[in-house]
Amino acid sequence: MTVTEDYIDASGGDWDEVIEKAQATSAERLVVNMGPQHPSTHGVLRLVLTLDGETCTEARVGIGYLHTGIEKNMEFRTWTQGTTFVTRMDYLTPLFNEAAYCLAVEKLLGITDRIPERADVIRVMMMELNRMASHFVAMATFGMELGATTIMTNGFREREMILDIFELVTGLRMNHAYIRPGGVAQDLPPGAVGKIQELLKEMPERIKIMRKLLDENPIYLARTRDIAHLNLPGCMALGVTGPLLRASGLAWDLRKAKPYCGYENYEFDVPVSDGGDVYARYRVRMAELEESLKIVEQCLDKLRPGPVMIEDAKIGWPAKLALGPDGMGNSPDHIAHIMSSSMEALIHHFKLVTEGFRVPAGQAYAAVESAKGELGCYAVSDGGTRPHRVHFRDPSFTHLQAVAAMCEGGTVADVIAAVASIDPVMGGVDR
Amino acid sequence: MSTDNERERNEEAARLPDQLGRERLAAPVRRTGMFGTSTTGDTSGFGRLRVRGSAPVSAERPYTDPDDPRTADFDRVADDLEAALGENAGAVERVEVARGEITFHVRRESLPRLARLLRDEPSLRYELCLGVTGVHFPEDTDRELHAVYHFRSITHNSEIRVSTTCPDSDPHIPSIVSVYPTNDWHEREAWDFFGIVFDGHPALTRIQMPDDWQGHPQRKDYPLGGIPVEYRGATVPPPDERRAYK
C-alpha cells in the first residue's frame, strides 16, 4: 500500500489502514484491486480500478490466474485426445470448444464433406442446447451480482434441465469430450429424444417467467439501461463479436454468414438490438434462447437413423459404445468384431488408440458462433500424430479488452454490470 | 530464339526424376524411423527411414477453384490487394491456397502498411482482426518464429490469413495495435508465449504468465515439464518423455 499526495494505492492493504491513511492525506484518487478472488468477477479476473469518489476513472484488467497451458499440453497428445483438453477451456461452452477444434482438424484432414449427416444434426442440437445453458448462466450470475438471487436460482434451475440432457447423452454434465474429429463419440441413447421434447415443451414457459421477472423490472432497468455503452465502431475496433456486437445493432452471426455443420438448413432469426448497453445485451441473449429452441426443434425433425462417426477405418474411432458392469466402454459387438472376426478391424483399432491418426501437414482455421462470440481454432500440423500448434481465439479473451471502454467514466457499481454483460469465463480467457 | 530453347531445356531438366530426386535429398530431415522413437530401438524394420520436409508451396493463379465455393473470392481479393499495394506489391512474398483458405506471406516490415490497407481500402474492408498467434518452427532456419493473423471482412463476408516471420536471433515484428486495437492482448500473448517483440506496442508486457517468468513457454525448446508418477511400483514418465509415435 502506497500513499502519495496524488493517490492512495490500496492494493493488498488492510481496509482499516486504508481509511486511516486516507483521512490523513489530501489525495482524492483511490486505486483498488477488485479480484482476483471476488465473487462478482466471474472467476479469477482482476480489475485494477482508479476511483475518484464513486466514479471509476480508470479500469485495467489483469488476467492469467487460470492459465493451464492447454495449448501447450495438446502438442504432446494425439489429435483425438485434444478434445479432452479443449472442452475444459471455456467450461460453460464445452461443446462449442469441441466443435471449433474438430472442424479445424477435419479441415486439415480434408474430410469436412464426409461427416455423417446424423453427426452434424446432433452437433447442432448439442451446440444450441449449450448456447441456452451458457446464456442462462450469464443471466443468473448477472442477477446475483446485482443482488437479485431469484434470477440466479431461476437461471441455474433452467440450466439444470439442459445439463440433465447432456448427462444422459454424453455421460457428463460438463467436460464432455463428446464431439470428436470425424463425428461424435456415440449416438443418442434411448430416451434422449423424449427428454429433449420435454424440454421443448417446458422451456418456453420458463423463459416467459424470466422475461416477466426482468423485461420491465424498474430496478433491473435502472441498473442496465444506458450502462456500459459500446457502439458499433467500438465493437469493430476491439474485435467484439457475438451478443455484444448484435446488441450494438449489427446482425452478424457466423451461423448465417459462414454456415458450418449444416446451419444453412435451419430456419432461425438473428436477434438484434441497437441499444449497445447492458440491457440490449440482455434482450439479445433472451431472444437467442428462443431462437435456439426453434433450432433444437428442427434438429429433432431432421434426425434420421445413420452412423454418427465417419466411415473411414483409419480416422473414425469406434462410436458404438455400451454400458458395461465397469462403466461406459466399447460395445460387446465391437469387441467381438475386432477380437474374432476381422484382423483389419483389430489393427485399425489398435493403431487408432495407441498411435492416433496422421494429419497432413498444413494449417487451418475454423470458427464457430459460440454463445459468447466468434470462437476460432487455428491448428497447425507437421504431418504427425500430434498437433504442431493449436491456438484458440476465445471471444471472452478479446471482449475483456473492452472493459476500459465500457467502465471508465461510470460509477463503481456499473463496473460490475459491465463485466457481467460481457459474460467472460476465465477458463476460456486464460486457457 | 536460342535463349527460349535454352530456357525450355532447363525447365525440362528441372522436371527430370534425377534432378527432383537430388532436390528431395537436399531437403531437411523431419523424422527418422517409422515412429520417430528416440528412447528405445525401432523394431518396425524401418529404423533407417528418413522422412524429409517439403519446400513451401506457392500457389499459382488462378487462386479461385471453380469446383470449390470456399475459394470464390480469392482472385478478387488478391487483385484488389495487389492494386492497393501498388509499387509495394513485393511486400507479399508468396500466396498459399489450401483447404479453401488463402494465406498471404508478407515481409514483416510491410505489415503495418498492409494492415492499414486491409482495414481502410473500400474494396478490401477487413473490419475485424481476429488476433495474432505465434508458431515456432525451430528447423525453419532464419524464419523460426511465425506470426499468423486472421482477418475477417463483414462487408464482403471474406476471410484471409496473413503470415509473417522473424528469425530467433532478431525476434522483432512491427505492431499493428494502432490499426487494430483488438490486437493489444493478442500481441502481448504472442510475446509472452513465443518471445516475439512487437515494436510499437503501447505496453508489451506478459499477459498469461507471471511478470517475473523466465522463458517463453510455447516455444518448442521449452519443455512441457511434469514429474514421473509412481503407481503400484511402476513409474509413468511425464507426457513429453513417454514413448510415442511422432
Q: In the prediction, which pLDDT does A7 show?
A: 74
Tell me, which fold does domain A72-315+357-393+410-430 have in CATH? Cytochrome-c3 Hydrogenase; chain B (1.10.645)
The ipTM value here is 0.87
Reading the block at residue B81, the C-alpha cell is 490487394
Residue type, B80: D
Confidence class for position A246, pLDDT limits 50, 70, 90: very high
Q: In the prediction, which pLDDT does B1 show?
A: 47
State the average pLDDT over residues A376-380: 94
Which residues of A fall within a CB distance of 8 Å from B54? 361
- Is the minimum CB–CB distance between A386 and chain B shorter than 8 Å? yes
Q: What is the pLDDT of residues A213-234, one digit of tens each?
A: 888 888 888 888 888 889 899 9
Q: What is the pLDDT of residues A94-153, one digit of tens each?
A: 999 999 999 999 999 999 989 999 999 999 999 999 999 999 999 888 888 887 888 889
Q: pLDDT > 90: what percent of chain B?
A: 35
Range of the domain at B212: 58-246
Q: What is the pLDDT of residues A390-402, one digit of tens each?
A: 999 999 999 999 9
Which residues of A fall within a CB distance of 8 Å from B209? 64, 67
Which residues of A fall within a CB distance of 8 Å from B180? 237, 239
Average pLDDT, chain A: 88
Cα A12 → chain centroid = 32
Residue B118 has pLDDT above 70, yes or no: yes
The beta-carbon neighbor of A72 closest among B31, B128, B217 is B217
Size of interface A-B (CB pairs under 8 A): 109
- Contact at CB, A393 and B130, closer than 8 angstroms: yes
Q: B27 in a domain, yes or no?
A: no
Which residues of A fall within a CB distance of 8 Å from B100? 107
Min Cα–Cα distance to chain A from B17, Å: 24
- Contact at CB, B131 and A239, closer than 8 angstroms: yes
Please report, for chain A, the start and end positions of each structural domain, with discontinuous segments joined by +.
2-62, 72-315+357-393+410-430
Q: How many domains does chain B have?
A: 1
- Is the minimum CB–CB distance between A365 and chain B shorter than 8 Å? yes
Q: In the prediction, which pLDDT does A376 show?
A: 93
CA distance A101 to A375: 10
Confidence class for position B4, pLDDT limits 50, 70, 90: low
- Contact at CB, B207 and A63, closer than 8 angstroms: yes
State the average pLDDT over residues B101-122: 90
Residue B28 has pLDDT above 80, yes or no: no
Q: What is the pLDDT of residues A320-334, one digit of tens each?
A: 777 778 777 788 888
Q: In the prediction, which pLDDT does A370 show?
A: 93
Closest chain B residue by Cα to residue A386? B246
State the average pLDDT over residues B39-63: 74
State the average pLDDT over residues A366-374: 93
Q: B147 in a domain, yes or no?
A: yes
CB contacts under 8 A, B 30-59 vs A, are 30-31, 35-36, 51, 54
Reading the block at residue A158, the C-alpha cell is 433452467
The CATH number given to whatever domain includes residue B189 is 3.30.460.80
Residue B172 has pLDDT above 60, yes or no: yes
Q: B203 in a domain, yes or no?
A: yes
The beta-carbon neighbor of A237 closest among B98, B182, B218 is B182
3-state helix, strand, coil split of chain A in percent (to 5) is 50, 15, 35
Question: What is the SS3 assignment for A376-405?
Answer: EEEEEECCCCCCCEEEEECHHHHHHHHHHH
Residue A369 has pLDDT above 90, yes or no: yes
Q: What are the contacts of A186-190 at 24+ separation with CB within 8 A?
A: A186/A308, A186/A319, A186/A320, A186/A321, A187/A118, A187/A122, A187/A308, A187/A319, A187/A320, A188/A122, A188/A303
The beta-carbon neighbor of B130 closest among A354, A356, A376 is A376
CA distance B96 to B124: 18
- Is the minimum CB–CB distance between B116 and chain A shorter than 8 Å? no
